[in-house]
A and B are shown apart, each in its own frame.
Chain A
Amino acid sequence: MLNNRGQMRTVEAFLAILLLFSAFGITTLISPASNVNNNNTLTTIGMQTLVSMNNDGQLGRLINEKNWTALADALDTLLPLGTSYNLTVYDENLQTINNVSITNGIIPNQNVISIQYPCASPTSQSSYYLLRLQLATAR
């Protein structure tokens, strides 16, 4: 009888340990908070980079001049190190107008976020653009 009770206690202890570790395992699985925060930080960085480039109208001027190299140089300078980007510029009919890639190479299998940014050029012939900036950082 005592042996049986002892065995039951042992099984119970094992079950308890199993339950506890299962709980830890599940909680680890359902905690994507850091990923969400990372995406939000990237989105904020991307938007603020474009806003700062657009603050004096430079962004619209570069697009008007189709100066994709200068645009890429500005993004290289303003975005934090280790951030990969890919910028696509659309005209007001949502047709792509950059005939060369404006990117420093999005690494595959990364968590990529996408930002849409409307922009107008401050030139005498007003032009409107929609920018789609994709950003990713190494995990």
Chain B
Amino acid sequence: MIAILVVSLVLLSTQLYIYEVSISLDGDKAIHVTDFVLAVRLGFKNVVTGSLVNISTGGDSSILGANLEGWASFVGRLYQFGKPVINFTLRNATSYTNGTQISWGTNGFGVSGVYVDFNFSLADGQVNVQLPHTLNVTTSLVVEGVYQTPAGNTKWINVTCYMFNEGNPALAQNMTIFYESSSSWLRADEQSNYSFVDYGDGTYRISFEAEVLEESINVSAQAYDLRGIYVQANTTCTNIS
């Protein structure tokens, strides 16, 4: 009888231990917190991307800070795993002003970018999270051009464009080429023998024929990436006749 009592107690205590372990949710909670942190970070990225879409298409650069404040305030009200706190700093460095870089130069390189440092923290009794993070969303465009003069003022112009997102080749959803003639900018796709080749890897080759009096031919490439961020780059074509 005593032996059976002992066996029963052992059984009960073992099961109780397993029960306690199974309802100890610390590990699982940590996994869910990780997912929550990822959601907040993705939201941050989306806010930054949306702000850059706005700024690159003519919006005021102050929209970036306002949108990030809005997201930080919204997330700060979600007490799912403790109080979330987001602090952010807009990068002010060589080429960034208030976190934004819009540089559409005449050297064949254009860039629309945002650089933000942020820190996400979450604290409650069981899980502590401190996540410093840097977010860089950049769309850049490189344009190269060459031309030949087969006869008179007729020029064969070849333009090659390379689109990048965060330094990696990326697709454009709209690419328009302009060229300068007699101080006017004209669309290349309205000229004769226009051809547009999409190589599918962020490289685009545009060829066309135009009547241009000048020997110095300026071209401008204007494009949106798949996120809707606008960028443009200008260059002077090289004569390869």
Q: Which residues of A contact B (CB under 8 A)?
A: 12, 15-16, 19-20, 22-24, 26-27, 30-33, 36-37, 40, 43-44, 47-48, 50-51, 54-55, 57, 60, 92, 116-126, 128, 130
Contacts and interface: CB of A to CB of B under 8 A. Distances in A.
Contacts of B12: 23, 26-27
* Interface bin, chain B: 35 or more
The SS class assigned to the B binding surface is: helix
Interface in B60-77: 67, 70-71, 74-75
Given A116-B80, A119-B43, A124-B53, A31 B18 contact: yes
A116 B78 contact: yes
Interface string B10-28: 0110111011001101001
Given A22-B8, A24-B11, A47-B32, A123 B53 contact: yes
B70 to A, nearest CB: 6
A118 B40 contact: yes
A118 B43 contact: yes
Give me the 3 closest cross-chain CB pairs, A-B, nearest first.
A33-B22, A47-B35, A27-B15
Given A40-B28, A54-B39, A120-B50, A20 B23 contact: no
Contacts of B78: 116, 118, 130
Contact of A128 (B18, B43, B45, B53): B43
Contact of B16 (A30, A32, A40, A47): A30
Contacts of B28: 40, 43
Nearest to B32: A43
A128 B42 contact: no
A51 B1 CA distance: 58
Interface of B: 1, 4-5, 7-9, 11-12, 14-16, 18-19, 22-23, 25, 28, 31-32, 35-36, 38-40, 42-47, 49-51, 53-54, 57, 59, 67, 70-71, 74-75, 78, 80, 227-228
A121 B50 CA distance: 7
A49 to B, nearest CB: 10
A128 B31 contact: no
B7 A51 contact: no
A124 B11 contact: no
Contacts of B1: 12, 15-16
Given A30-B16, A40-B32, A128-B70, 18 more contacts: A20-B7, A27-B12, A27-B15, A30-B15, A31-B15, A31-B18, A40-B28, A47-B35, A51-B38, A57-B49, A118-B39, A118-B43, A118-B75, A120-B44, A123-B50, A123-B228, A124-B53, A125-B54
Contacts of A123: 50, 53, 228
A51 B46 contact: no
Nearest to A37: B22
B211 to A, nearest CB: 38
A32 B22 contact: yes
Contact of B46 (A20, A57, A130): A57
B11 A120 contact: no
